[in-house]
Chains A and B, each alone.
Chain A
Amino acid sequence: MSEAAEGGVRLPESLRGVEPVQSVRTPIRLEYDYRPSASAESYLRAYGEKRIIGHRSPVDGAVFIPPRGVDPRHGVAISEEVDLPDTGHVGNFCVTHLPIPGRKGLEVPYVSAWIHLDGAAVGFLGLVSGCPSDEVRIGMRVRAVWKPDDELGTTAENIRHWEPTGEPDVPLERAGNQSFHAGRGDEAGA
């Protein structure tokens, strides 16, 4: 590299012809003793009993999952917990052909999907299995496949995946996110 390209910096004689330093290692590690909040704790503890908890908005009754203690449309606090069923439909999905490094037991291709539980205003992420990936479709009815009772923890991983129920599909125009816009007077776009 010419001196001009070095921004006019003139290397000292001792560095001429020496292999340049290409990287510096400065390891950074920060530790957090993180408590995820009362609403997230309820959510995770409920998983230990094979229950799924949502939060019901005081504004219009829309149910949000996971429960975050707030209705994000209105900036209003939520404290009302509601039990949601472990059934719903695929609101949207994608098929991935690359493995996740370090994750065992996940065969490719795998299907990631927005699962819209019956009674919930928004979807949440899950894996769909139990049918060929090219049969997964928007509107397909699914139910949770839970781990055996003796393997349950306080974690969303208790749901291994979602499998088809065989019920008739939810029509495309009613599948997916139906309620996020509700209550703001602009449902027409939803």
Chain B
Amino acid sequence: MKPVREVAVVSTAVHQVPALTGTTEVQLMVPLLNAARDAVGLTQADIGFTCSGSSDFLAGQAFSFVQTLDAVGAFPPISESHVEMDGAFALYEAWVKLQAGEVDTALVFSYGKSSPGSLRDVLALQLDPYFLAPLWPPADAVAAIQARLLLEAGKVSGEELAEIAVRSQRNAVGNPNAVRSSPDVAVEDVMAEVPIADPLRPSDLAVESDGGCAIVLAAGDRARQLCGRPAWIRGIDHRIDAHGLGTRDLSRAPSAELAASVAAATADLAIGSLDIAELHSPTTSQEAILIRGLGLGASTEVNPSGGALAANTLMAAGLVRIAEAARRIIDDGADRALAHATSGPCLQQNLVCLMTGV
């Protein structure tokens, strides 16, 4: 969709830890929502639209997102929506609302607390309910089938996957929201790990985490008032591939490729010329597919935060990518950034968000 209004990320807040034990999702989100609003001097009464993303399968409760609205301060009643998807897709809905001109500000948040349950079992339930889900294939095994195809086809080598794992762990050093980091891990260390789902080793798989993310969006002059250097969303698009894993060419992510090319055309940006890219890759093999498929250039720094491999909070990791990329524009002076979010098995659904500092 061609933007008719300038819309930007003006503030971000992220919190990710290995497991939240004594804290509810509501208690997690109260300080994050306040941090995102306070950073730009807004209260909930100043927010035109609020949109969130989460999953009842993680909470083990029907309509669990309604409780989390307690963290927003949703009274008097607010204009609100929710997607049972990663928060990046909630951000897309908020962006459309801003494009429609109905509001000038929006609050987007998402969270995931997967530690009380079994994430690999939960993820099995996103598969075809008649022929696949009853077999309960673990998410690691489904991703390993994709990785095997890449390796056998010669599209990537085991060493290249290990290099991606090493980059993530080294970049994650110093990121307070990374759960796995190491300043001195080497390719040999990763190659020596015993695979969990052959050919994928522990370092090939994203680390599960609990956490959340909050972002404030604003349009036009409102964004300029609120933030010295907003991260302007110049192009954003999301696409989906077929549900049946057997019908897809798993060595590619056509929906990610198309979302990137549509976003790039809208933004009038060359994907090969970006400063940074934050990719939501649940495995190193999927990161390899994305780097090639999106057409990232050699000069683009990939996942300076460590990416989702360093902390994969289900339902929030995609929004965290947007927050990380935007923060580097807002605070660190980056000019051109890509943020990617995915949902579904083997990169089934993909969102690409291109942001600039000017």
Residues of chain A touching chain B, judged by Cβ–Cβ distance below 8 Å, are: 24, 26, 28, 30-41, 68-77, 180-181, 184, 186
Contacts and interface: CB of A to CB of B under 8 A. Distances in A.
B134 A26 contact: yes
A184 B45 CA distance: 11
Contacts of A26: 129-130, 133-134
A27 B133 CA distance: 10
Contact of A184 (B33, B34, B76, B117): B76
Contacts of B182: none
Contacts of A30: 57, 60, 117-118, 121-122, 125
A41 B22 CA distance: 9
A32 to B, nearest CB: 4
Interface string B60-82: 10000001011111111000000
B60 A32 contact: yes
Contacts of A72: 69-70, 73-75
B72 A37 contact: no
A68 B70 contact: yes
B60 A34 contact: yes
Contacts of B57: 30
B26 interface: yes
Given A30-B57, A30-B121, A24 B130 contact: yes
Nearest to B25: A37
Contacts of A181: 75
B72 A38 contact: no
B70 A38 contact: no
Contact of A70 (B71, B121, B129, B130): B71
Contacts of B71: 70, 75
A184 B60 contact: no
Does more than half of chain A's interface fall in helix, strand or loop, or is it mixed? loop
B44 A75 contact: yes
B73 A73 contact: yes
A115 B344 CA distance: 44
Contacts of A70: 26-27, 30, 70-71
A34 B116 contact: yes
Interface in B78-123: 116-118, 121-122
A68 B30 CA distance: 12
A37 B70 contact: no
B123 to A, nearest CB: 11
Interface in B122-145: 122, 125, 129-130, 133-134
Nearest to B136: A28
Nearest to A33: B116
B23 interface: yes
B80 to A, nearest CB: 13
Given A73-B75, A75-B71, A31 B117 contact: yes
Contacts of A69: 24, 26-27, 30
Given A26-B133, A75-B70, A35 B75 contact: no
A72 B67 CA distance: 9
30 contacts: A26-B129, A26-B133, A32-B116, A32-B117, A33-B116, A36-B24, A37-B22, A37-B23, A37-B24, A39-B24, A39-B27, A68-B24, A68-B26, A68-B67, A69-B26, A69-B30, A70-B26, A70-B71, A71-B73, A75-B34, A75-B44, A75-B71, A75-B72, A75-B74, A77-B27, A77-B30, A77-B31, A180-B75, A181-B75, A184-B76
B73 A74 contact: yes
A30 B22 CA distance: 21
B299 interface: no
Interface in B259-283: none
A156 B27 CA distance: 22
A35 B70 CA distance: 19
A70 B26 CA distance: 8
Contact of A75 (B60, B73, B118): B73
Contacts of B121: 30
Residue among B21, B22, B117, B133 with the highest chain A CB neighbour number at 10 A: B22
A25 B44 CA distance: 46
Contacts of A28: 125, 133
Nearest to B22: A38
A71 B116 CA distance: 25
A69 B27 CA distance: 7
A37 to B, nearest CB: 4
Nearest to B121: A30
Contacts of A76: 30, 73
A161 B75 CA distance: 32
Contact of A35 (B26, B116, B130): B116
A71 B34 CA distance: 13
A76 B24 CA distance: 14
A155 B116 CA distance: 21
Contacts of A36: 24
A33 B118 CA distance: 9
Contacts of B70: 68, 70, 72, 75
B118 A31 contact: yes
A117 to B, nearest CB: 20
A24 B30 CA distance: 43
